[in-house]
Amino acid sequence: MKTPQKTTILLTLFTILTLIALLTAYTAHQTPTEETTTETLCTYVSTATYDYTATLDPNNLIYNGKTELKPGEGTIYTRITKLINITLTYNFQSTLTPTDTQITYTITRTLTTSTIEYQLNTTQQETTSQTPIQITLEPINKTETDPIITKIANEMGTSTTTYYTIEITPTFIIRANTTAGPIHQVFTPKLTITFQKTDQGEITTITPLSQTKTGTITQEQTITRQDIMLQRNASYILTAVAIAGLAFSAYFYIKAQPKTKEPPPLEKLIAPHKDLIIEAAEPPKTPPQTTTIEVQTIQELAKTAEILAKPIILTRKPTPTLTVIDQNTIYQHKPQTQQI
């Protein structure tokens, strides 16, 4: 078994090392050198809590003459409900103490059905800096809104309905300052009162009773990953060393390879035997049933020509050929030459 040369071993080792170095550099570049982090400096929250009291017909049998119904105490049946009083409590809190707080708010009431949307009213804009804010909303009296729905339906030429929705939409605009920066928030905790017919009967639902909206003041920081930078620099050094080693090992490997010996020119090859050689334009014609013997060297062919006292015939085309003819035997040599 032939032992690999040292140059072959070095070339193989540096080729593998170069591949490893390139893979290391590629891996190091998959992770960014900069990382952005977000720090929360302040968190603030607006909260809206609704409460209601439904005034019932005192002669009702469902609740045994009970006259008031509050959240969680049972279903509001529309036919025994005379009035619904609703209150709204708004509060604003912040993890940092706010200054110059200004809270502006209005409240809009809207009637809606599948075909109708009618704004009942909007309150005057109010401004305050104090929280919590207690607001008593306009009572809900279905006997007052039914005629409005009927009139609009008649004007539109659509069928009237006693099942519809009243939307109460407060809009709170909060502005304040903190040590982390200014606060600006818009909060619209919409309350939906729906008169509908279900499997339970004709009922009134009031949802949602509690709503919140959270905001934050943040700060982004960009840091340089020194560990990634070190990995990249190390990969550059490893790659440079590996490529340099590969180049040198490839150079010595090529130098160590045996040089291919070029065949000598034809004229130089036949010069020592020119006295025995005659040149013909075409290959000589040979009689039938001849035997051709391939001679390995021109020297052997020259000896054969001297022994047989025959000339060496040189033909250059199609391939340089030296031939000695002895009756039915042909001695032939085709030299490997650099040129014809």
Provide Rg for the chain, Cα atoms. 53
pLDDT of res. 188: 96
Overall average pLDDT of the 140-147 stretch: 90
Closest C-alpha to 117, from 171, 170, 157, 153: 153
Amino acid in the structure at residue 175: R
Using the predicted structure, report yes or no on whether residue 82 has a pLDDT greater than 90. yes
Q: How far, in Å, CA of 270 to CA of 340, rounded? A: 12
pLDDT at 138 over 70: yes
pLDDT of 32 higher than 50: yes
pLDDT tens digits for range 173-200: 999 999 989 999 999 999 999 999 888 8
Q: Average pLDDT, whole number, for the chain? A: 86
* pLDDT score at 166: 94
Average pLDDT of 52-75? Answer: 93
Domain boundaries, the chain: 6-33+225-256, 39-216, 266-333
Q: What angle do CA 312, 314, 318 make, to 5 degrees?
A: 145
Three-state secondary structure of the chain? CCCCCHHHHHHHHHHHHHHHHHHHHHHHCCCCCEEEEEEEEEEEEEEEEEEEEEEECCCCCCCCCCCEECCCCCCEEHHHEEEEEEEEEEEEEECCCCEEEEEEEEEEEEEECCCCEEEEEECCCEEECCCCEEEECCCECHHHHHHHHHHHHHHHCCCCCCCCEEEEEEEEEEEEEECCEEEEEEECCCEEEEEEEECCEEEEEEECCEEEEEEEEEEEEEEECHHHHHHHHHHHHHHHHHHHHHHHHHHHHHHHCCCCCCCCCHHHHHHHHHHHEEECCCCCCCCCCCEEEECCCHHHHHHHHHHHCCCEEEECCCCCEEEEEECCEEEEECCCCCCC
Q: Is the pLDDT of residue 3 over 60?
A: no
Please check the confidence at residue 259 and state whether its pLDDT lies above 70: no
**Residue 187 near residue 48, CB atoms below 8 Å:** yes
pLDDT band for position 75 (cuts 50, 70, 90): very high
- 314's tokens: 């040189």
285 and 42 Cβ atoms separated by less than 8 Å? no
Q: Which pLDDT value is given to residue 339? A: 42
Q: Do the beta carbons of residue 129 and residue 101 sit within 8 Å? A: yes
pTM over 0.75: no
Please determine, for residue 2, whether its predicted confidence score (pLDDT) is greater than 70.
Answer: no
Asked if residue 245 has pLDDT above 50, the reply is: yes
The larger pLDDT score, comparing residue 282 to residue 262, is at: 282
User: What per-residue confidence (pLDDT) applies to 115?
Assistant: 83
pLDDT band at 108 (very low <50, low <70, confident <90, very high): very high
State residue 297's pLDDT score: 85
